[in-house]
Amino acid sequence: MFDDDHLVSLAGLVPVMGLAEQTGLCGLLSEKVRIGQPRITSGSANPAPKLATLIAGMCTGADSIDDIDVLRAGGMKTLLGGVYAPSTVGTLLREFGFGHARQLESVLRGHLAALCQRVDLLPGADVRAFVDIDSLLRPVYGQAKQGASFGYSKVAGRQVLRKGLSPLVTTISTDLAAPVIAGMRLRAGKAGSGKGAARMIAQAIVTARAAGVTGQILVRADSAYASTSVVGACARAGAYFSLVLPKNTAVTAAIAAIPDTAWTAVRYPGAVIDPDTGAWISDAEVAETTYTAFASSRRPVTARLIVRRVKDARYPDALFPVWRYHPFFTNSTEPVADADITHRRHAIIETVFADLIDGPLAHMPSGHFGANSAWVLCAALAHNLLRATGVIAGKRHAVARGATLRRTIVAVPARLARPQRKPILHLPRHWPWANAWLRLWDNVIGHPQPATT
């Protein structure tokens, strides 16, 4: 029977939300989120604790507004305090407009900086850091979704036309750290991938500096973001860029002009080392040349064109090799082979997308565009909070996926007891990740440890 008021299904939320409190999340929400002319007066009251309730729910894996009701089950409401009903949170989200979403963006940037001060979230940032930008299309269904329109999404390697909404995301990572979200903005599904990219990159670089990045910053993106505005934003901020170039006639001519002696084999799946020369015998080679991009614009840019060519698997028995070429444009100073590897690691942003899709962005919950804009930004806040939680828990949790952190750290069952009116959590014996959980508890809550029975 469902009749116990003292059972807790998500004991890990206590240190997670304790970390949020220590890094000033509620304070930032109270300071920056203002709804001046609400449609429903009660809907705009106390936005900070309502949004904190939503973020806590997202840390448990909530992908709809109704899912946050799990925070009121059993002893959870007693344990957390100040938990709001889903209907109340939904009313608040529907009050959000464009300006309110920008307020939440400011909260996201400020909270990331606070997290980095509290936790070593970006180790290696004194050497170099990476700002990656990309967009994804989240499909929606029905006629009631504001802003929903048809855009292209890649499914199983094919471009598919789907109806949806398109968040644009910037992340910050290092050679040693998993990516955190620096900015997120919801757009219509038909919006071009590069729309608003230069401004978001500039903001992401400022956020990276505020988060303690003192080393060189490299901005990585695919061909949709290869524009003079993006390159200019990188130059003004003192950052390097590494951008895929679309293969037009000028790029194709530049690739064709590279001499055969300039190509160097690189390590690639299936590559082996020649025992006599020590060089790689590989189906992939890289070379570079100097190239002037955007030559027809008022602001042409001259930098390195690095090209990776791979043998086309469709023609394994061809008399002469048939190559596929993958060019990117960069002003970094790395050796050509290292620059190619660094650029290909831009794909790390896809791990963030996978985390979001496996959690809060499984679907867009509201018919109101403003509500969905607030939803994706709260999802970004929850992602960064879980990332910091994993770093404190240590070892493999520092780079674990959000789903893993929810399963091993957050979704810990417990029984809430109050001997002598002092709350104690009784946790399950032989919990496989007890050491990591207690490490998090000690760091955030402090001693004494919760009882384990």
Distance CA 170, CA 289 (A): 29
How do strand 128-135 and strand 216-221 relate by DSSP bridges?
A: parallel
Distance CA 186, CA 104 (A): 12
Mean pLDDT of the chain: 89
- Determine the pLDDT at residue 270: 60
Quick one: tokens of 170? Answer: 């910037």
pLDDT tens-digit series, residues 201-210 = 999 999 999 9
Give residue limits of the domains in the chain: 241-332
pLDDT tens-digit series, residues 378-437 = 999 999 999 999 999 988 999 999 999 999 999 999 998 877 777 788 899 999 999 999
Distance CA 228, CA 295 (A): 10
- Determine the pLDDT at residue 449: 45
Quick one: tokens of 194? Answer: 């590069």
222: pLDDT confidence band, cut at 50, 70 and 90? very high
pLDDT tens-digit series, residues 8-60 = 899 999 999 999 999 999 999 999 999 888 888 777 888 999 999 999 999 99
Q: Is 186 exposed, middle or buried (0-12, 13-18, 19+ CB in 10 A)?
A: buried
74: pLDDT confidence band, cut at 50, 70 and 90? confident
Identify the residue with better confidence: 281 or 283.
283
Task: Give the count of beta carbons closer than 10 Å to the beta carbon of residue 415.
Answer: 18
Q: Which of 295, 293, 305, 167 is nearest to 231 (CA)?
A: 293
- For residues 230-237, give the mean pLDDT: 95
Distance CA 356, CA 359 (A): 5
Distance CA 77, CA 1 (A): 19
Biggest CA pair distance of the chain:
84
- For residues 80-88, give the mean pLDDT: 89
- For residues 285-297, give the mean pLDDT: 92
5: pLDDT confidence band, cut at 50, 70 and 90? confident
DSSP, residue by residue, 392-437 = HH-GGGGG--HHHHIIIII---EEEE-GGG--EEEBPTT-TTHHHH
Residue 447 has pLDDT above 60, yes or no: no
Helix, strand, coil shares of the chain, percent, nearest 5, are 45, 20, 35
Distance CA 375, CA 149 (A): 19
Report DSSP state, residue 259. Answer: -
Identify the residue with better confidence: 193 or 238.
238
- Determine the pLDDT at residue 154: 73
pLDDT tens-digit series, residues 141-162 = 878 888 888 887 777 667 788 8
Distance CA 240, CA 225 (A): 14
